[in-house]
Structure 1
Amino acid sequence: MKSSYFLVTSAIAASLLTAVPASAATLLFDLSGSRNATFTLEVDPVVPDRVNNQPLLGGSQIFFNNVPGTFNGIAGSGNVNFGSGSILAALNISAPGLGFTQFGGADLFSFVDGRPVFNTGTFNFSGIATGRSTLIISEVSGAVPEPATWLMLILGFAAVGGSMRMKRRKTRATIAYA
Structure 2
Amino acid sequence: MKRLLSLAAAVAAVLSSVPASAVDLRYTIKGSNGFAASFLLDSTTVSHPLFPDNFFVFDVPGTFSDGSALAGLTFYDTEQEGGMTVFTANGTEASFVGPTLFSGTIANPTLVTFRPTVFRHYYDSSISYVTSAVAVPEPATWTMLLIGFGMVGTVVRRRGAAGTSSVAA
- If the length of structure 1 is used for normalisation, what is the TM-score? 0.60
Tell me the CA shift for residue 88 of structure 1.
8.0
Q: 1:136 aligns with which of 101, 112, 131?
A: 131
Match of 1:65 among 48, 59, 62: 59
Contact 1:60 1:88 in 2 (8 A): no
| 26-35 or 110-119, larger mean C-alpha shift | 110-119
CA distance in 2, matches of 1:118, 1:160: 39
Corresponding residue for residue 91 of structure 1: 84
Looking at structure 2, the residues matched to 9 and 61 of structure 1 have their Cα atoms a distance apart, in angstroms, of 49
Task: Give the match for residue 16 of structure 1.
Answer: 13
Contact (CA 8 Å) 1:105, 1:126: kept in 2 or not?
yes
- Percent identity, please: 10
CA pair 105-138 structure 1, distance change in 2 beyond 3 A? same
Question: Over the residues paired in the alignment, what is the CA RMSD in angstroms?
Answer: 4.0
The change in CA–CA distance for 1:42 and 1:87 in structure 2 (over 3 A counts) is closer
Amino acid at match of 1:139: V
Pair 91,160 (structure 1): closer, same or farther in 2 beyond 3 Å = closer
Q: Does 1:39 align with 2:38?
A: yes
How far residue 49 of structure 1 moved from its aligned partner, in angstroms, is: 3.7
Shift of 1:13: 0.7
Shift of residue 11 of structure 1?
Answer: 1.6
Aligned to 1:29: 28
Shift of 1:75: 5.9
CA distance in 1, matches of 2:30, 2:148: 40
Which residue among 67, 71, 75 is the counterpart of 1:78? Answer: 71
CA offset digits 1:63-117 (Å, max 9, x no partner): 1423211223x263322222224348563323255x1426363343243374333
Q: For residue 5 of structure 1, report the CA deviation from its aligned partner.
A: 3.5
1:108 aligns with 2:100: yes
Structure richer in strand, relative to its length? 1
Asked if the contact 2:86–2:95 (Cα under 8 Å) also holds between the matched residues in 1, the reply is no
Segments of 4+ moved more than 6 angstroms: 20-23
**1:152 corresponds to which of 134, 142, 148:** 148
Does residue 124 in structure 1 map to residue 110 in structure 2?
A: no
Counting matched residue pairs gives 154
8 Å CA contact retained: 1:28, 1:140? no
**TM-score normalised by L of structure 2:** 0.63
Q: Deviations over 1:103-148 (max 9, x none)?
A: 36334324337433347322111327x9734242243676x97211
Higher helix share: 2
| Alignment check: 8 A CA contact 2:55 2:75 kept | yes
Tell me, what secondary structure is at the counterpart of 2:134? strand
